[in-house]
Structure 1
Amino acid sequence: MSYPFRVTDATVDVVEALLSGDEELYGLKIAKMTGRPSGSVVPILMRLEGCGWVLSEWEQDETARGPRRRFYRLHADRFGEARRLASERKKPSRKRVSSILRPEFGGAR
């Protein structure tokens, strides 16, 4: 399936975070959930918002400490496509790198 944005592993991670069901997702929280730097997560969120996949709004709590947060959520019409994207691009389980780089040889000859 084609999507109106470039699909990278980081994009899939962000989409999976948005599918998590957490209702208070903001850039830094998504970055921590995905293990990605906020400098790559926020542009992905902006792209997803630009093509109608994500909705956002500024925090309304005036008593909150620190800078206001921008909350993100998947558009209700995009849940099916988001689930499909996440399942299509699911990362295969990774083998131990050491066993790939140093295969066991059957004894010295």
Structure 2
Amino acid sequence: MTPKKAQLLKIFLEAPDQPRYGFELMQLTGQPSGTAYPILAELERGGWITSSQEDIDPSKAGRPRRRVYVLTCEGYLAARQALEDLSETFRPPAPAQPRGRR
């Protein structure tokens, strides 16, 4: 789990049912397209997210369809566990109890 992948997953976990699109994720994370889209493709291959084309009429919307990404149930569980594991990996140990003064 890389920090950049964890950053994307955190966005998905903040609102698990909300579809996200690539440019939005890039804005929220500050990641360039060359970083975000390969991670999204990897997450999709792993079954953590699914993607589809937005259901709009481009001529009426005045823009092309966006690809939207949605966290799967399996992805939700796996992402929560992965971020918990990552957090545990980097959590400093509890400080030793201070010794009394002499």
TM-score, structure 1 as length reference: 0.70
Shift of 1:86: 1.7
Question: Residue 13 in 1 paired to residue 7 in 2?
Answer: yes
The 1-side partners of 2:75 and 2:19 are apart by 18
The 2-side partners of 1:36 and 1:78 are apart by 21
Contact 2:52 2:69 in 1 (8 A): yes
Which runs of at least 4 in structure 1 moved beyond 3 Å after TM superposition? none
TM alignment of 1:1-109, pairs within 5 A: 7-21=1-15, 23-62=18-57, 63-90=60-87
Shift of 1:76: 1.1
Seq. identity, %: 33
The 2-side partners of 1:65 and 1:19 are apart by 30
Contact 2:21 2:69 in 1 (8 A): yes
The 1-side partners of 2:23 and 2:86 are apart by 23
Unaligned runs of 5+ in 2: 91-102
TM-score, structure 2 as length reference: 0.74
Shift of 1:19: 1.1
Unaligned runs of 5+ in 1: 1-6, 93-109
Give deviations 1:55-103, integer Å, cap 9, x for gaps.
Answer: 11101111223221101011112212211212222496xxxxxxxxxxx
Which structure has more helix as a fraction of its residues?
A: 2
Shift of 1:29: 0.3
The 2-side partners of 1:51 and 1:64 are apart by 32
